[in-house]
Structure 1
Amino acid sequence: MESLKGGERASLNQERVCKRCKKTFTQSSNSPSSCRFHPSFFVSRRHDDQKRYYELGPDDPPYAAKFYDCCGAEDPEAFGCKTDYHVSYDD
């Protein structure tokens, strides 16, 4: 195994922010199960039209069913349903 030069080692240990889950991470600790997120949008499905989906907006009526389109979780703060590597804003 090649030894890392100072700059490469520093880059692996530099803290970054994940653009999916917003947590800080380092490349050296990033693994396929590090990031937990929803791959889809939190949407609103209006009861008067069950076949059309809308992104949740500030003017959505209170009777709209709101959920994550990927897994059906109804809480906007629900724990993510998928895991993967963290993705940096720098990537």
Structure 2
Amino acid sequence: MDGKKKEMEKETENTCKRCKKSYTTSSNTSSSCRFHPSFFVCRRHDDQKRYYEMKPDDPPYAAKFYDCCGAEDPEAFGCTTSFHVSYDDD
């Protein structure tokens, strides 16, 4: 019975602190978690050739995008994949 108890403990669902999805230890692979390793920022982008969709109340010098990949949609799929990370992990 000890083996079964340990197996059940391994299958406890956790919540990933990066992508907020539920996962189990056995389903956690190197491509399970999709996230942005940087922040969604509002500032002038170094790439002056790129067009950014601006809102009417945005300052003319600001653009909103993920600093890691340039995605302009705050709901954009992450640009990086890795293992899920639990809130319990340090």
Corresponding residue to 1:17 among 15, 18, 25: 15
TM superposition shift of 1:62: 1.0
Letter in 2 for 1:84: S
Matching of residue 62 in structure 1 with residue 51 in structure 2? no
- Pairs aligned (count): 76
Identity rate, percent: 66
Deviations 1:30-73 (A, max 9, x none): 000000000000011148xx6xxxxxxxxxx6132000000000
- For structure 2, the 5+ residue unaligned runs are 47-56
Alignment of 1:1-91 (within 5 A): 5-46=3-44, 62-63=58-59, 64-91=62-89
Indicate the residue corresponding to 1:58 in structure 2. Answer: none
Point out the more displaced range, 7-16 or 78-87: 7-16
What SS does the corresponding residue of 1:14 show, helix, strand or coil? coil
Q: CA RMSD in A?
A: 1.8
Report the TM-score, using the length of structure 2 for normalisation.
0.76
Matches of 2:3 and 2:74 in 1, distance apart?
43
TM superposition shift of 1:5: 1.9
Runs of 4 or more above 3 Å deviation: none
Report the TM-score, using the length of structure 1 for normalisation.
0.75
